Structure 1
Amino acid sequence: MSATNLAGRILKVNHAGEHGAVSIYSGQIFMARFTARFLLPELLTFKADEEKHRAAFYNELQRRGLKRCKSYWLCAVGGYALGIGTGLLGANAISLTTIAVERTVLRHLRHQTELLVEDADAVSAISSILNEEQEHHDVAKNRSRPPGVFGRMLSSAISGTTEAVIWLGMRL
């Protein structure tokens, strides 16, 4: 795959992933009204950040004349289901979800900036969201309780699913 094609594919997957993140927070916000009301301001802020990130990648796709990733709606539906499910489980599950997703995403984003070093626009789009993604991770980590067996299983499942969706998106 050429560097230009790789950058386009990565940007498409990142755009779909940000759409998935918006959907996760949407589901969690819906459920947190019943299970963790005190988290609503934070979740609303995180969702707004993810909407900005999605727009940044969309703008770069538009500039390059690229369509969105075929996994876009998969990320939306899967993200919303994950948000509803973890929101139903309460505040710690919401935090563990954010930690697991952001840890995986941050690793990928940092690797992408190394892979795409010759594509300044792609690196700029990716770099523009790193600080907020790190902040989401850190805020959730500081708020969460140490995970028990269930929490570790939940975190592993979410990290693995996030990796699988990224892998699939790169191949669709």
Structure 2
Amino acid sequence: MNQEMDLAAAKTIRRIVKVNHAGEYGAIRIYRAQIWVARRLYPDTVAFLEETLAHEIDHCQLFRDAMPARQARPCRVMALWGNGGFLLGFVTALMGRQGIWICTAAVEGAVHHHLDDQLLFLKNRDPELHTLIATIQDQELGHLNHALERLSTPTGFWSKALHQIITLSTNIVMWLSTWGDSTRMARELKASRQKTNNQKAA
């Protein structure tokens, strides 16, 4: 039974690394597209976008480096993330500075939520990956807060609608690019969180 649990945990850990790597690649493409537009239209935003891009490039490489030890591989359709990310970044940047901040808040907010569940799952299973993700989460939270501070009407209809569209699009691309692994990973992480909560309540 323990061996079966270990194998199941190892599979979930492979999925975590795979999904995170794909997501970071998509983020790289989003920020590159936004920088291309911002240099021409909103130069005051470029410094933040370039710093964030550097973080995402580093995160992507860190997850790539974490793959061999966990027998994980990049998803087979990275072009979907690349093209989808570039299109999302380009379109939201054309909407103005608020489009950039809404996009950043939506993407980084989703990332922050997923990383919380991953950290809970990894705490006693893969301390090395847990430490890596915790460090990355700190930077992602910085991106999120920067965007939230600059949203003029975060609860307005246009802002909420665009936020929901970006979140939905991100989840769809994640599911397609990982052949459903993102859904299976989320289900496994949810079950792990529920088990932990039940143990605390007992």
**Would you say 1:35 and 2:41 are equivalent positions?**
yes
Q: TM-score normalised to the size of structure 1?
A: 0.93
2:45 maps to a residue whose letter is: L
Bigger Rg over Cα: 2
1:171 aligned residue: 180
Contact 2:84 2:173 in 1 (8 A): no
The equivalent residue for 2:128 is 121
Q: Contact between 1:101 and 1:162, CA under 8 Å: does it hold in 2?
A: yes
Question: Which of the residues 125, 138, 157 maps onto 2:145?
Answer: 138
Structure 2 counterpart of 1:6:
12
The alpha carbon displacement at 1:65 in A equals: 4.0
- Name the stretch that deviates more: 47-56 or 68-77: 68-77
Which consecutive unaligned segments of at least 5 residues does structure 1 have? Answer: none
Could you tell me which residue of structure 1 aligns to residue 68 of structure 2? 62
Amino acid at match of 1:171: G
Partner of 2:167: 159
Q: Kindly state the Cα deviation for residue 9 of structure 1 after the two structures are TM-superposed.
A: 1.0
Which one of 74, 78, 87 corresponds to residue 84 of structure 2?
Answer: 78
8 Å CA contact 2:112–2:141 kept in 1: the answer is yes
Report Cα offsets for 1:122-168 as digits up to 9, x if no partner: 21222120100000000111112114322211111011222233344
The amino acid of 2:180's aligned partner reads R
- The amino acid that maps onto 1:43 is L
| TM-score (normalised: structure 2) | 0.79
Task: Return the alpha-carbon distance in structure 2 between the equivalents of residues 165 and 37 of structure 1.
Answer: 29
Identity %: 34
**SS of corresponding position for 1:67:** coil
Displacement of 1:170 in angstroms is 6.2
Q: Name the CA shift for 1:120/1:170 in 2 (closer, same or farther; >3 Å).
A: farther
Taking the aligned partners of 1:6 and 1:65, their CA distance within structure 2 comes to 11
Moved more, 123-132 or 160-169: 160-169
SS at match of 1:66: coil
Give the letter aligned to residue 39 of structure 1.
Answer: T
Cα root mean square deviation, aligned: 1.6
2:82 match: secondary structure: helix
C-alpha contact (below 8 Å) 1:35/1:87 kept by paired residues = no
Which moved further from structure 2: 35-44 or 58-67? 58-67
